Structure 1
Amino acid sequence: MATEWKLFADLAERAGDKHVTVDADAGDTVGDALEQLVTDRPALEERVLEDGDLRSQINVLRNGTNVLVEEEGLETVLEEGDELALFPPVSGG
């Protein structure tokens, strides 16, 4: 099974695409899929991670739900057909 990440704003620019498919299976975690993403697209690493941990202002969604707030964070287990999204900090005025 493959899992697709949707990337937004400058994250898509760094990755070179708005959609990146990674090799993550049902039973793997969101963290496993994130690790695959930064391995496949190393330009994302410094923007998304700090000392190997997710930067606090980065949002990770699984099927539209923020895993850091409403689920088990990066330990959230993937299910077949899950769609992951990565958002940079949102600023507005």
Structure 2
Amino acid sequence: MATEWKLFADLAERAGDKHVTVDADAGDTVGDALEQLVAGRPDLEARVLEDGDLRSQINVLRNGTNVLVEEEGLETVLEEGDELALFPPVSGG
């Protein structure tokens, strides 16, 4: 099974695409899929991770739900057909 990430704003620029497919299966975690996403993409990894941990301002969504707030964070288990999204910090006023 493949899992697709949707990337927004500068994260898409750093990854080189707005849509990145990774080899993550049902039963893998969001963290597993994130590791695959940043593997080989040092610019993206530096923007998303700090000392191997997700930067606090980065938002990770699974099927439109923020996994860091409403689910099990990066330990959230993937199900077939899940869609993942990565957002940089949102600012504005």
Q: What TM-score, normalized to structure 2? A: 0.98
- Matched with 2:3 is 3
Q: What CA distance in whole angstroms lies between the structure 2 residues aligned with 1:6 and 1:42?
A: 18
How many matched pairs?
A: 93
1:42, distance to aligned residue in structure 2 (A):
2.6
C-alpha distance in 2, partners of 1:41/1:19? 14
CA distance, structure 2, for counterparts of residue 81 and residue 35 of structure 1: 19
Q: What percentage of aligned pairs have identical amino acids? A: 96
- Distance of 1:60 and 1:42 partners within structure 2: 18
41-50 vs 4-13, greater mean Cα deviation: 41-50
The structural deviation recorded for 1:18 is 0.3
- Following superposition, the deviation at residue 43 of structure 1 comes to 1.9
Q: Which runs of 5+ in 1 are unaligned?
A: none
Structure 1 residues 12-58: Cα deviation after superposition (integer angstroms, max 9, x where no partner): 01011000000100000000000000004332001000000000000
Provide the rounded CA distance (Å) in 2 between the counterparts of 1:87 and 1:26: 22
Q: CA RMSD in A?
A: 0.7
Cα deviation, residue 4, structure 1:
0.2
TM-score by length of 1: 0.98
